[in-house]
Structure 1
């Protein structure tokens, strides 16, 4: 329980280092992930917020011009068509800060990852 609380505080601190508008986006993404993966634990891994459910489920991060979202290569492949307008690599997606963040798509990707990790796909 103590570790969970410490991780929560670390993520709060991470988010607080960004401008208010980016903080709002990061908080909303965190909330979406928390609700879509209620059994996942929060942690800081690789210096960025991470949700863990038996393994790393999702990482996300703020940058100067985009939000980095790291759901694993399998999730990026699964949602390839819906992600076509975003810059991506094998394991990462860049959501530019000058465009609306696709929160509904983020939720779908998280739910997919939960199913993948739990073996229910």
Structure 2
């Protein structure tokens, strides 16, 4: 039986996660994965909260499959708000962009979101370091 969303506890790594997702969803998410790793090649890839997650100087971004859509988790409502015009036509909520294989998030927009998250993580890290010095 083929499932649309990957079972939350059945995977140990991103390849295993994608292997359990409907093929067209897996292909769309593999494109997201490729883009994340091209923009943030030093990001650590892992499964957390049952979905693929990327860490780079803290939580960076995540993605997953649901029954009727894929989701990209920007992990920052503040960053995603800056891209609201670019995301017109997509179902969004704070920190989340829903998309389908037929209507993927444009790569340039996704790359810009990832870069903005990287910058935000560096700012957060610097602020924490400055606070510790006081």
Q: TM-score, normalised by structure 1?
A: 0.83
- Hey, what does 2:18 align to over in structure 1? 15
The one of 58, 61, 86 equivalent to 2:90 is 86
Q: Decide whether the 8 Å contact of 2:14 with 2:52 is kept in 1.
A: yes
- Please report how far the alpha carbon of residue 34 of structure 1 lies from its aligned counterpart in structure 2 after TM superposition: 0.4
Q: Deviation per CA, 1:16-38, whole angstroms, max 9, x where unpaired?
A: 10122211111110010001011
Equivalent residues, number: 112
Bigger Cα Rg: 2
- Give 3-state SS (helix, strand or coil) of 1:69's partner: strand
Aligned-residue RMSD, C-alpha = 1.7
Change (3 A) 1:24 1:96: closer
Runs of 4+, deviation exceeding 4 Å: none
Q: Is the 8 A contact 1:65 1:97 kept in 2?
A: no
TM-score normalised by structure 2 residue count: 0.76
